[in-house]
């Protein structure tokens, strides 16, 4: 009876993961719809007309609209970079020569059998679903149906896994979403207050409802994204992922933690000009091991120099 329940639960989880794949463009359209509503309310309904009105209102509108469009461009750039960037696939016929997990030499002679398990040979990790060996810090995503290098999680908002190759882009997306949502919230706050004051509010009922909805949506996004951003910054500083933070739990010393500076550079690169855009310099792309389809180094002397 118990085994039957376990089988049913596993089947339901699989069906749920399969259903997530069907969201696809729906989630992208939802994100674009939220961006569109915010753009309409801030630019078209309020600060756009004020910009051409002249006077102090025009100056205030410029102060709002200039950073609004810059942040919007960066938000969309980072968002689609996460969506369309492969998070990191295991290289074909990947075979480790060293077990980075425990620091012991592990030759592969006779270890490529599909029946191999982690518990039987802890030096080599094998994915039964992909029927392939997998590097350290690599995990199988049930939604994408493949193993992902340094997988952090599968994000339904970006319709993609967040892994070694797009983790930086995901963090920047959170960062610019927080800034953009905060700016929209602050810019619409006077109009939101007017709902609770005894003053006449210009505009049609539909426009007023859109303003109220836009303010509430962006306030909710700003607060929630801020929490995620703080969490992921702490993970970057410790050189760990959401999955690893859950799995290692009370491990006193994380073997991949090489110090704040090195941990940060392994995600964002060493070239400061590229830190705030979803791109890497040629040297960083070549040097960062994860961007070459390899596992991250476990010793400071293997780090980027």
Question: Which residues are 146's β-sheet partners?
Answer: 141
**CA atoms 193, 197, 202, 204: torsion sign:** positive
Long-range Cβ contacts of 205-211 (<8 Å, 24+ apart): 207/45, 210/37, 210/40, 210/41, 210/45, 211/41, 211/45, 211/46
Catalytic residue among 138, 141, 144, 155: 155
- Beta carbons within 10 angstroms of residue 147's beta carbon: 24
Token pair listed for 26: 């729906």
- Beta carbons within 10 angstroms of residue 98's beta carbon: 15
CA 93, distance to chain mean position in Å, is: 28
- Beta carbons within 10 angstroms of residue 77's beta carbon: 16
Quote the CA–CA distance of 177 and 236 in Å, as a whole number.
19
Quote the CA–CA distance of 155 and 5 in Å, as a whole number.
28
DSSP state of 89: B
Residue 189 near residue 41, CB atoms below 8 Å = no
Quote the CA–CA distance of 57 and 63 in Å, as a whole number.
10
CA-closest candidate to residue 259, choices 224, 301, 294, 212: 301
Quote the CA–CA distance of 278 and 162 in Å, as a whole number.
14
DSSP state of 63: H
CA 188, distance to chain mean position in Å, is: 27
Q: Is 17 a catalytic residue?
A: no
Q: Which residues participate in catalysis according to the annotation?
A: 155
């Amino acid at each position: 009876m118990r085994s039957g329940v376990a089988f049913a639960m596993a089947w339901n989880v699989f069906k749920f993961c399969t259903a997530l794949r069907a969201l696809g463009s729906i989630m992208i359209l939802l994100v674009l719809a939220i961006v569109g509503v915010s753009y309409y309310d801030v630019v078209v309904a309020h600060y756009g007309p004020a910009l051409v009105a002249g006077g102090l209102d025009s100056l205030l509108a410029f102060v709002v609209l200039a950073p609004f469009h810059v942040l919007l461009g960066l938000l969309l750039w980072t968002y689609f970079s996460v969506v369309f960037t492969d998070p990191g696939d295991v290289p074909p016929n990947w075979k480790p020569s060293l077990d980075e997990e425990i620091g012991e030499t592990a030759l592969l002679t006779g270890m490529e059998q599909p029946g191999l398990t982690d518990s039987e040979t802890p030096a080599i990790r094998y994915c039964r679903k992909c029927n392939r060996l997998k590097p350290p810090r690599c995990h199988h995503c049930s939604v994408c149906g493949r193993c992902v290098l340094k997988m952090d999680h599968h994000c339904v908002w970006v319709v993609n896994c967040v892994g070694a190759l797009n983790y930086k882009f995901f963090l920047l997306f959170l960062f610019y979403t927080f800034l953009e949502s905060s700016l929209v919230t602050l810019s619409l706050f006077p109009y939101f207050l007017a709902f609770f004051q005894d003053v006449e509010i210009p505009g049609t009922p539909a426009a007023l409802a859109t303003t109220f909805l836009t303010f509430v949506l962006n306030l909710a996004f700003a607060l929630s994204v801020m929490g995620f951003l703080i969490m992921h910054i702490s993970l970057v500083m410790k050189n760990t992922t959401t999955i690893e933070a859950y799995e290692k739990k009370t491990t006193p010393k994380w073997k991949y933690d090489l110090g704040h500076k090195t941990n940060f550079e392994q995600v964002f690169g060493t070239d400061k000009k590229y830190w705030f855009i979803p791109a890497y310099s040629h040297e960083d792309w070549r040097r960062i091991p994860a961007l070459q389809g390899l596992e991250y180094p476990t010793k400071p002397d293997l780090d980027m120099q």
